[in-house]
A and B are shown apart, each in its own frame.
Chain A
């Protein structure tokens, strides 16, 4: 089951937002208050702290910010590459849903492993 399924079934509530090209969704170091599920379009993720000039395009149905769920601030900057549709989820709501639903936990763990894999590739 994907995060989108959880939203469609009403187990996670969020607001749909549409952004134009080049909009900054959040900046590295900014306080985390929302996670974003990209439903249409594409988003580039950039890490300016490591000094690695690297930009990654988030895969479809990726929940932006999930890798920083246990942090206070975002660890990368997210920017739209084209007109993009997102579902905005509050961090507190996601944390609460995680406590309540093991299937959601599993789905989010998969996403986090994608992020871990991405970091490894960057260092190779």
Chain B
């Protein structure tokens, strides 16, 4: 018997500027929908922080949030409760400890500033770094995206490589949002021979998630990202979910050279869950390379 894992505490790393205002508005709406608490996190970019500086910074952060919430929400619709967390240095220096100390369930961040072509390389790198640092799921918002009810969630996955704990967390998240969840696997032409394995894995997952509003799809497409991107566009996806152990896919998703993923820079928020995979990833990232280099136990014939 499994218990519902709820998203109760959302950490929002933000700067006190226009991008921060948009992110805060989104965070307020999302927390309101989920019935969650917000933890607003600001890194002061100084080497250290006295208690007085910290108090000042918290006061500024609090006034900033109150101003945004009072402007964006009318009196009848109260934004989510929030607390402020301030640390010295950069966000990446202390986010790991903050996530642990405050028992954060989800990190909500913006994908950074845009240049005319999409995300800046620096912003993409920063986002991928945070995703790599924290153990909880990370939700990344395209810059300037406005909140809209998340009704249609797509989890791009491999049916044969699942971690039940992660799968149920994702299903619980969809349930908490009262959204429909679609599990989609994209496979290449060369994998046709394994279609039977994929289908039986899909049926097994269907059984596990029985009673929940979940749809399963198998799609043939040469490139995984292209397949996910096209599917997301065609089904008017509100949120794309990935479960991965490395940030190779993220780097590609956020790459400005890859036009097919532009929707993720401009329209579709993305959530990543940390999952240790049994199979190596398609990009053969450092994680997979290290795994492959480890000596395999020799098979013995009795």
Q: Which residues of A are in contact with B by a Cβ distance under 8 Å? A: 17, 19, 23-27, 30, 33-34, 74, 88
Contacts and interface: CB of A to CB of B under 8 A. Distances in A.
B51 A30 contact: no
A59 to B, nearest CB: 20
A19 B51 CA distance: 9
B50 interface: yes
Interface stretch (B52-60, B147-155, B172-180, B279-287): B52-60
B48 interface: yes
A33 B56 CA distance: 8
Interface string B88-129: 000000000000000000000000000000000000000000
A32 B48 CA distance: 17
Interface string B30-71: 000000000000000000101111011000000000000000
Contacts of B50: 24-27, 30
Given A26-B50, A27-B50, 15 more contacts: A17-B51, A23-B51, A24-B51, A25-B50, A25-B52, A26-B52, A26-B53, A30-B52, A30-B53, A33-B52, A33-B56, A34-B52, A34-B56, A74-B52, A88-B55
A24 B49 CA distance: 8
Contacts of B51: 17, 19, 23-26
26 contacts: A17-B51, A17-B55, A19-B51, A23-B51, A24-B48, A24-B50, A24-B51, A25-B50, A25-B51, A25-B52, A26-B50, A26-B51, A26-B52, A26-B53, A27-B50, A30-B50, A30-B52, A30-B53, A33-B52, A33-B55, A33-B56, A34-B52, A34-B55, A34-B56, A74-B52, A88-B55
A27 B56 CA distance: 14
A82 B182 CA distance: 55
B187 to A, nearest CB: 54
A50 to B, nearest CB: 20
Nearest to B48: A24
Contacts of B52: 25-26, 30, 33-34, 74
A88 B59 CA distance: 12
Contacts of A30: 50, 52-53
Contacts of B55: 17, 33-34, 88
A88 B50 CA distance: 14
B63 to A, nearest CB: 13
Contacts of A19: 51
Contacts of B48: 24
Nearest to A26: B52
B47 to A, nearest CB: 12
Nearest to B51: A25
Question: Which of B48, B50, B52, B55 has the largest number of chain A CB atoms within 10 A?
Answer: B52
A34 B54 CA distance: 11
Interface in B154-208: none
A50 B53 CA distance: 24
A82 to B, nearest CB: 15
Nearest to B56: A33
Contacts of A25: 50-52
Nearest to A24: B50
A10 to B, nearest CB: 21
Contacts of B53: 26, 30
Question: Which of A19, A23, A24, A74 has the largest number of chain B CB atoms within 10 A?
Answer: A24
B9 to A, nearest CB: 22
Contacts of B56: 33-34
A117 to B, nearest CB: 25
A24 B56 CA distance: 14
Question: Which of B51, B55, B56 has the largest number of chain A CB atoms within 10 A?
Answer: B51
A71 B52 CA distance: 16
Nearest to A32: B52
Question: Which of B48, B55, B56 has the largest number of chain A CB atoms within 10 A?
Answer: B55
Contacts of A17: 51, 55
